[in-house]
Structure 1
Amino acid sequence: MHFYTTNDGYRHFYQKYPAKSSNNIMILLHGISENHRYLAPLASYIAKRNIATVLTPDLRGYGEFCPKKGDVDYIGQHEDDLKQFITQLKKDYQESRFILAGHSAGGGSLLRLSETDLAETFDLFILLAPLIHYGAPTIPKENTGFRRAIRNNLSSILALNDQNITKLNDRIVFENQKPENLRHGSETISLSFRLFASRYPVHYLNAIENLTKPTLLIAGKEDEQFVASAYEPLFQDNPHVDVMILEDIDHDGILSDRHALSIIGQWIQNTIIEV
């Protein structure tokens, strides 16, 4: 088990998948309700083929070692946490090239980071069936999946925050609808507004425009959470982003399907030598 400690004394868990002969480091961020565990198929694939050593941190508010699950102290605290993590990694791996990847809301977190000075830390970005924004065209209009998990109080709390009123930011605005018989017990089912708002960019079109490093966006055509066909129109004007939508793969399948894993690994190997 691995931990890093931030300035407030919080100990953050991360899993490490070491590559034997690669200097590349990939940080892989989890989705909106899961912790690091479900990322194992992709992380193992990348590490075992010596493409990169992969680190899968549990973000604040997630995981077995989290004292306050489903909440953070303020919106954007994840960026501050990751900045301290990455600063330490840069000291430990001075000769390495860094890749930032994120699945689902992990992709949303990546887009948030693209608007900060942390973006210059990375050589490549990988968006895996990413959450773009709760109001983006990638969110289905039907009351299913991700949309059904959003509570009705979200809009009113957003309106209060527009007036700099934050007293309700600890209220639950997102509740995963995963059936109890399918839960494994380590999920973060309920999210406060301040945690939920930390998992996507404020101005998603600006965040997309700010992706100036080589970026792969890959998703499955059968994604049941987001509208996969909406990704390409959103990113088509950014020459740094390669969009790939694969047949017969769903939202989580993008992390374990053999064809998808092969494409991700090959893209990293082909692109990292050019940066």
Structure 2
Amino acid sequence: MAVVGFTVIVWGLAAVGFAALVLAGLVAWPLRSPPELTSVSAARKLINLATLPPLDRFQARDGTELAYRRYAPRSAAVDRVAIVVHGSSVSSRGSIHVLSRAIAMRGVEAYAVDIRGHGASGTRGDIAYLGQLEHDLADFVGEVRKHHPVAPLTLVGHSAGGGFALRIAGSSMQKLFVRTVLLAPYLGYDAPTSRPDSGGWASANVPRFIALSMLRRLGMPFAESLPTLAFAVPPNASRFLTPTYSYRLLRDFSASRDFRQDLAKALNPVTVFAGAADELILPDKYQEAFSPLGIVRIIANVNHIGIVSDPAAVSVIADDIARSGANSRSSPESSHQEICSRGDKAGSGGMQNAQLPG
């Protein structure tokens, strides 16, 4: 019996050792950076940053100074404020500047944030723990409330920032906002709207992600600062862009594992805008993804960056943010896909409505 017991222990230790070696190998798996995606780079080069506001800062609960830009109303102010969240790799110094400025031109004060791990906020490409971005957003709302104690807040998110905004809309933090506007939101690798590798924009280190997820489930959150996702940015672009995300930032700056749970828990209105020519996602699948709980509006001849920088698209979205109030949650009957021609206003006579299969 002693020999049998000793043998079991030896084999058990061998199995544990083998599993540890496998996990170590997966963690050490190299991250591949995709080639530059020229459609995204070219679109960003067209952004006019001459009117970019200076950075302001606020102190998060951990003492870190995080950055944002304030866009004061440029016309008769309305009693509403928008917080605008950028997409992956970028910051407030990018394409969301065009949209943020357009929102302010319509009387809505806009705040464009540098999410921690991007731009001038924190350590580039990393955060300290899962859930830190929620804490940062709650702290920033507190900062905004110093200047706007009671104004309704609209949360606006583009791409990965749209996925993050959807997670907020379905969480206990949703009470901070009256409405959520998602612009070409990234909903997860297996969402019906996702292209493989986000259309060439991102490359995930799947072995490393799997290994770190397994370790976290075992209560050993180890090496989560390692880069796990790489973006198709130009060479030597790290001055303004974030080339890679750590495991922690990848997990935190996104929708929940099942975006549908976020949507089902959202009690306030959720509206989606996307461009019909989006090269990173499948815009015609948003109706399937959001029906019957959200309103989907597709704008013709606009790509992924254009949804926040194309003048016609920005006009449609900024008008919607300025004019739509804190109405009750949309009913199933109001969930539909609206195909907007560039230059048409949301809700105007120039918009064609098309009911798509749910």
Give the TM-score of the pair, scaled to structure 1: 0.91
Which of residues 186, 203, 206 is equivalent to 1:149? 203
- What corresponds to 1:116 in structure 2? 171
Which of residues 240, 243, 262 is equivalent to 2:296? 243
Which of residues 58, 63, 75 is equivalent to 2:130? 75
Which of residues 231, 248, 252 is equivalent to 1:198? 252
Structure 1's unaligned 5+ residue stretches are none
The SS at the match of 1:158 is helix
- What corresponds to 1:29 in structure 2? 85
- What corresponds to 2:27 in structure 1? none
Question: How much does 1:209 deviate?
Answer: 1.2
Question: How much does 1:82 deviate?
Answer: 0.9
Mapped pair 1:14 → 2:14: no
Which of residues 253, 259, 271 is equivalent to 1:216? 271
1:228-239 to 2 correspondences below 5 Å: 228-238=283-293
1:50-199 to 2 correspondences below 5 Å: 50=107, 52-63=108-119, 65-141=120-196, 144-146=199-201, 148-152=202-206, 153-180=208-235, 183=237, 185-199=239-253
Question: How much does 1:124 deviate?
Answer: 1.5
The SS at the match of 1:149 is strand
Q: Aligned equivalents of 1:4 and 1:162: distance in 2?
A: 34
Question: How much does 1:228 deviate?
Answer: 1.2
Question: How much does 1:143 deviate?
Answer: 7.6
The SS at the match of 2:111 is strand
Q: Aligned equivalents of 1:66 and 1:83: distance in 2?
A: 15
Q: Aligned equivalents of 1:247 and 1:255: distance in 2?
A: 14
- What corresponds to 2:59 in structure 1? 5
Q: Which amino acid aligns with 1:14?
A: Y
In 2 relative to 1, CA 260–67 (structure 1 residues): closer, same or farther, beyond 3 Å? closer
Q: Which amino acid aligns with 1:141?
A: P
User: For the Cα contact (< 8 Å) 1:220–1:248, is it kept in 2?
Assistant: yes
User: For the Cα contact (< 8 Å) 2:57–2:67, is it kept in 1?
Assistant: yes
Which of residues 252, 263, 270 is equivalent to 2:316? 263
The SS at the match of 1:208 is helix
Mapped pair 1:43 → 2:100: yes
Q: Aligned equivalents of 1:185 and 1:218: distance in 2?
A: 30
- What corresponds to 1:253 in structure 2? 306
Q: Aligned equivalents of 1:28 and 1:185: distance in 2?
A: 22
Question: How much does 1:117 deviate?
Answer: 2.0
Question: How much does 1:61 deviate?
Answer: 0.9
Question: How much does 1:67 deviate?
Answer: 4.6
The SS at the match of 2:70 is strand
Q: Which amino acid aligns with 1:115?
A: G
Q: Aligned equivalents of 1:93 and 1:247: distance in 2?
A: 36
Q: Aligned equivalents of 2:244 and 2:326: distance in 1?
A: 41
Structure 2's unaligned 5+ residue stretches are 1-54, 329-358
Q: Which amino acid aligns with 1:216?
A: T
